[in-house]
Amino acid sequence: MKYKTLNVLFGFSIAIAYMSSPIIAPVKAQSLLDFQPKQEIAPKQIDSLKEIGTSLDGFIPKKLQESESPMGSNRAIIGEDQRIPMMSREYPWSTVGKIVMIGKDKKEYSCTGTLIGKSLVITNAHCVYDESGKLFPNIFFLPNLINGRLRTKNDVASVRNILAGTSKPNWRSADDWAILELDKPLGEKYGFLRWRTVPVALLQRYKNRLAVAGYSGDYPDPKAYSGSEFSAGKGYTAGVHLKCSVLGERDGMLVHDCDTNPGASGSALISKIDGVYQIIGLHAIGRRDRSGRGVENYAVRIGRIEAALNKGK
């Protein structure tokens, strides 16, 4: 089989998984009820994208510029954490947001999602189901959240429809993906990313060309940075691990070495291919060894998602 040689530059990837033992419950969010829309919408599960449509082409709003740096400007970091804060409001970082799930008991949980259409966000299926296996009664999306602040307060969007790859996600499911339809076309303002299938053999040839951006519950630690720009605390600014790689394939999933932690579940592996930022995988789970050291991370293949979407048409 011949593979087309692609011009792959540095891109970014959004990691949404747990680098711990195989536990897939979303991380408990910090006080996020202040962002909750006044009108609550109970999301519905749908079986086909005919009801919401999809787009495989990316979009950069005219008011946004492209920026390879998630920092926005130079900042000092203290310590050994490989992640850096996502402080940029430019594309493609503008497409990354925090997903908040409110349970029936009013407890808050969170994951990470990425805009892939005017009103579409992609994340993990395990993010949208509660412990009883039912959809969370209230889910909303906070685009490009930085230090607990949105570009515009009214940009919070509720999730009204969900197309999930599986309704029974486990810790390492090749179908651990979900596409969420929002009640607002946030992609028109924040842009959205293209997604495509790239052969695993080709991805392995391009080392250190991915990145992971996710709203982990342990990051950023305000004490590790100079200044007060992270005063909102952990989980309110995405952390980005740059220059990570796809290592191979196992059980129908991509294996990668991008850093992840609880709260980053639902992130997309992204690279800049032929000059275009695009999603090449969807992070699903991470594992640690007995010493607590991260050993393997797994991501859903885009080809798996595309096959399911085409089957449903």
Among 152, 150, 97, CA closest to 127? 97
The percent of residues in the chain predicted with pLDDT above 90, rounded, is 44
Report phi then psi at 305, rounded to 5: -70, -45
The mean pLDDT of 49-61, rounded to a whole number, is: 74
The mean pLDDT of 226-244, rounded to a whole number, is: 86
To the question of pTM greater than 0.95 for the whole model, the response is: no
As a 3-state breakdown, the chain gives helix, strand, coil percent values, each rounded to 5, of 10, 35, 55
CATH for 8-36+81-312, among 3.30.2270.10, 2.40.10.120, 2.60.40.10, 1.10.3720.10? 2.40.10.120
Q: For the chain, which residues make up each domain, given as ranges?
A: 8-36+81-312
Q: What is the dihedral of CA 119, 125, 131, 135, to 10 degrees?
A: 40
The mean pLDDT of 75-100, rounded to a whole number, is: 78
The percent of residues in the chain predicted with pLDDT above 70, rounded, is 80
How much is the pLDDT for 287?
67
Among 135, 117, 119, CA closest to 127? 135
Residues 6+ apart with CB under 8 A from 99: 110, 111, 112, 113, 121, 123, 127, 139, 140, 141, 142, 159, 180, 266
How much is the pLDDT for 211?
82
d(CA 242, CA 227): 23
Nearest 5°: the CA angle 139, 99, 124 is 95
How much is the pLDDT for 59?
93
Cross-strand pairs, 313: none
| pLDDT tens for each residue of 269-297 | 889 888 899 999 998 887 654 444 556 78
> Where residue 22 falls among pLDDT bands split at 50, 70, 90?
very low
| pLDDT tens for each residue of 109-165 | 999 999 999 999 999 999 999 988 999 999 999 999 999 999 998 999 999 999 999
Q: Are 30 and 261 in contact (CB under 8 A)?
A: no
| pLDDT tens for each residue of 94-103 | 999 999 999 9
Q: What is the dihedral of CA 186, 135, 278, 308, to 10 degrees?
A: -120
The mean pLDDT of 188-192, rounded to a whole number, is: 97
d(CA 178, CA 27): 17
Q: Are 160 and 119 in contact (CB under 8 A)?
A: no
